[in-house]
Structure 1
Amino acid sequence: MQKTFFPVILEKQKKLPIYLTSAGCDFYQESVDRTYGFPSYHWIQCSMGKGKIKINNERIILEKNMGMIIHKDVPHYYEPLCEKWLTDWVTFDGFAVKQLLNTLGFYKSNYYYINDISGIREKIVNCIDIGNHYNNYIELSIMNYDFVMTLPKYINRSSSPDYTTKIDIVINYINDNFYSALTIDSLANLIKVTPQYLCNIFSKATNKRPFEYVNEVRIQKSKELMLNTNFTIHEISKKVGFEDASYYGKWFKRIEKMTPGSFRKHYKGY
């Protein structure tokens, strides 16, 4: 039976590291054209029938026991390829989501084969039931965090290209050493390839250049420092690996659509 939940998002929810923006189960999926993407991160899975998804110049057939992560604001289009295409979905956002997905290996929008679709569906249904009966945004945030953190155990990544294993080594190194003076040569040397080859496979795996990812990690870490310490913005920029505070500010605004000072004021009030 079709179930859906669409919470009213208040400012206090937006200050959480992760929060639910919608959920659905056994949904009769129709054609959707999102030219400018969706304003939240999105997990969609197929429980019956099949449909076609167009994203990042790829055409993906999503059929039973397949699911897909679609990143925030990424343009995409999907349509049913049969009379009854049933999907389950959950959408979520929050200031910690991007780094959380990166840490779990969901670097870009991608599809996956599912080992246990009923396990994922149960979590989605629980979110819908809690939302429709109680709408406790703190509990929903906890459930949403659990959903994202446990998602890797329900999916099969064995079909991923061999180079993704190499990229995971680089990603983990960046996550652990973002504050250091990193170079493209040192990153390439980790997996014994040329800098040019690293850039090529990194872009294939993540849709980002290596130092685009480095700067995103540094920005995410700087947000944690802004919310949990009293360091100045200049001090924070140094602590996360930026040698120049103005360059840090440029990247922060590019990623977060606001200045570091505006971000701190929005979440801390000063």
Structure 2
Amino acid sequence: NKTHKKIMSLVLEANDIFQEKKPCYELLVKSKVCEIWSLFFNEIDSILQEKQFVNSNDVLRLSKILDFIHSNYKNKITLDDIAESCNISKSECCRFFKKATRQTPFEYLLNYRIKKSIPLLLSDKYNITEIAEKVGFSNASYYTEIFKRVMDLSPTKYKKEQLFKS
């Protein structure tokens, strides 16, 4: 959605500032991080306002799921693994996660993998196949397909555009 794209844009801007290392770059990066947190909290606040979280157990459950995904995104992850991380059934995991985040656990995982691949893509250290493997995709063509779906560009075109902006 629009907020998620803005957050991704800010992450990339912060990365660019960090790479350039101009005077006071640390403060500029911190500024971008603060903007990201602001957008994130506004997004979470809207979810909380809808009373989708009834109690702190729901927050704890979501935190466990996200921690599991963030810690294991490089590996093969199944819905069983995600549900097991917070001791709930697969169907309850899907229902709860969708209600909390407006996406399925698998959609979130794919988006997270793409987000984690962007710095690798822009670093020039790895080819597409290596990047795909490093962020948990089974092959480069699937990575490219998902990247296009999430970012509206192929990884190669995205990289060219980012380099052109620099």
After superposition, what is the alpha-carbon deviation per residue over 1:26-85, rounded to whole angstroms, capped at 9, x for unaligned?
xxxxxxxxxxx8xx53xxxxxxxxxxxxxxxxxxxxxxxxxxxxx55xxxxxxxxxxxxx
Of residues 123, 143, 150, the one that matches 2:31 is 143
- Structure-1 residue corresponding to 2:122: 227
Percent sequence identity is 29
How many aligned residue pairs are there? 142
Higher strand share: 1
Superposed CA deviations along residues 13-32 of structure 1, whole A, max 9, x for unmatched, are xxxxxxxxxxxxxxxxxxxx
Any idea what the Cα deviations from partners look like across 1:168-222, whole Å, max 9, x if unmatched? Answer: 1111111121101111101111111111110000000000011100010110111
Q: 1:161 maps to what in 2?
A: 54
1:72-112 per-position Cα deviation (integer Å, ceiling 9, x unaligned): 5xxxxxxxxxxxxxxxxxx8761628xxxxxxxxxxxxxxx
Matches of 2:109 and 2:34 in 1, distance apart? 26
* One-letter code aligned to 1:244: N
Q: Which amino acid aligns with 1:186?
A: D
Find the aligned partners of 2:156 and 2:7 in 1 and give their Cα distance.
25
Q: 8 Å contact 1:188–1:195 — kept in the other structure?
A: yes
What is the identity, as a one-letter code, of the residue corresponding to 2:11? A
Of residues 177, 181, 185 in structure 1, which corresponds to 2:80?
A: 185
Q: Find out whether 1:263 has 2:142 as its counterpart.
A: no
Q: Which has the larger radius of gyration?
A: 1
Structure 2 equivalent of residue 107 of structure 1? none
Aligned residues of 1:92 and 1:144 also touching (Cα < 8 A)? no
- 1:140 to partner: Cα distance: 6.9
Q: How does 1:1-270 map to 2 (within 5 A)?
A: 40-41=2-3, 94=9, 96=11, 142-149=30-37, 160-162=53-55, 163-268=58-163
Unmatched 5+ stretches in structure 1: 1-36, 42-70, 73-90, 98-137
Deviating 4+ runs (over 6 angstroms):
138-141
Q: Once the 2 structures are TM-superposed, how far is the Cα of residue 229 of structure 1 from its aligned partner?
A: 4.0
TM-score (norm 1): 0.46
SS of residue paired to 2:75: coil
Task: Determine the C-alpha separation between the residues in 1 that align with 2:30 and 2:84.
Answer: 39
1:164–1:205 Cα contact (<8 Å) kept: no
Provide the rounded CA distance (Å) in 1 between the counterparts of 2:88 and 2:97. 12
Give the number of the structure whose residues are more often helix, by fraction: 2
Runs of 5+ consecutive residues of structure 2 not aligned to the other structure: 13-25
Secondary structure of 1:182's partner?
A: coil
What is the rounded CA distance, in whole Å, between the counterparts of 1:187 and 1:264 in structure 2? 32
- Matches of 1:222 and 1:245 in 2, distance apart? 12
